[in-house]
Amino acid sequence: MTRISLDLGLSYVDVPLAEEGLRLPDGQVLTWQMVERIAEDEASHTEGHCFALRDGRIEPIQVFSAEFNRLYSLVATSAAPTMLISGIPMHRIKDTDPRRDTIAKVRTLAPLAGLVLDTATGLGYTAIEAAKQADHVTTCELDPAVLKIARLNPWSAALFDNPKITQVIGDSFDLIREFADGAFDRIVHDPPMFNLAGELYSLEFYGQLHRVLARNGRVFHYAGNPDSPSGHRVTRGVVRRLQEAGFSRVQHRPEAFGVVARK
């Protein structure tokens, strides 16, 4: 017998060893050749792929979006998996992990009450964490292909099961115009890198964030490592434009690689 996880570290089960491989609880066999392939992938990549076993075959969990010409891959970390967007991790994984990264961001808005807007769903970790405290979370995702990855990720299950979470498909730059003035008490704005979604860092978009935020509400904006040249440059521009959009008390939150602004 050996102890393994079949849901990417959420739980562990004991499975018997056989000549052909590992006999799983559902009757499938993870052959030694499959085990070797997974080990080789982990050894050859900084972030090893997560694999799915289907019909006697293992396949890396990947989806290509023809609409946006991007390859999304689910990869393992020391805790919850992250997703690579054309090779770029969507969470901080150096000296942290995606779960702790998410908690750090959400905590900047404590107490998290009322209605929350999450402008970039991704794997849904932000929406899931926020829904533990908030009354309701509305989360927006640009690319349906990302949600295909999320559905295959056990850590994202609550994104689809929690009635306190509403998913909206579309570009946040456009969707935000459909929300009423002062509709949200808190906003988590964790956009892709500037070169992938520059419009989500624009003064025009920040004006819409200000409009849909309730009085005395707060927004967290992820901007990157403030100690790196690029992160420092992006953060400086974010602060300036948030102030121009009408936000007050824009405060640096280096522990979450972002800033918090108040209305």
**Based on the domain organization, do 23 and 107 belong to the same domain?**
no
Q: Are residues 194 and 117 in the same domain?
A: yes
Task: Write down the pLDDT at residue 96.
Answer: 86
> Which pLDDT score, from 0 to 100, does residue 45 have?
66
Within-domain flag for 85 = no
Give, in order, the Cα–Cα distances in Å from 39 to each of 34, 51, 152. Answer: 9, 11, 20
Q: What is the mean pLDDT of residues 80-87?
A: 90
Whether 212 is covered by a domain: the verdict is yes
Residue 115: inside a domain: yes
The alpha carbon of 25 is separated from its chain's Cα centroid by a whole number of angstroms, namely: 30
Shared domain check, 252 and 143? yes
Q: What is the pLDDT of residue 40?
A: 87
Q: How many domains does the chain have?
A: 2
Look at residue 256 and tell me if it is in a domain. yes
Residue 155's CATH number: 3.40.50.150
Mean of the pLDDT values across residues 92-119?
Answer: 93
Instruction: Tell me which of 11, 29, 46 is where a domain ends.
Output: 46
The answer to whether residues 90 and 84 touch, using CB atoms and an 8 Å cutoff, is: yes
Read off the pLDDT of each residue in 80-88 and give the average, rounded to a whole number: 89
Residues 27 and 127 in one domain: no
- Show the domain range for 28: 2-46
pLDDT digits (tens, 9 = 90+) for 16-74: 998 898 999 988 899 999 999 988 887 776 668 899 998 888 999 999 999 999 999 99
Q: Is residue 16 part of a domain?
A: yes
Rounded average pLDDT over 111-133: 96
Does the residue 93 lie in any domain?
no
Report whether pLDDT(159) > 90.
yes
Give pLDDT tens digits for 233-254: 999 999 999 999 999 889 999 9
Residue 115 scores a pLDDT above 80:
yes
The pLDDT, as a whole number, for residue 46 is 63
In a domain? residue 123: yes
Domain membership flag for residue 78: no
Helix (H, G, I), strand (E, B) or coil at 58: strand
258: its two tokens: 């972002």
State yes or no: pLDDT of 125 exceeds 70. yes
Residue 187 and residue 247 in one domain: yes
Nearest CA to 181 among 155, 157, 217?
217
**Statement to judge: residues 133 and 216 lie in one domain:** yes
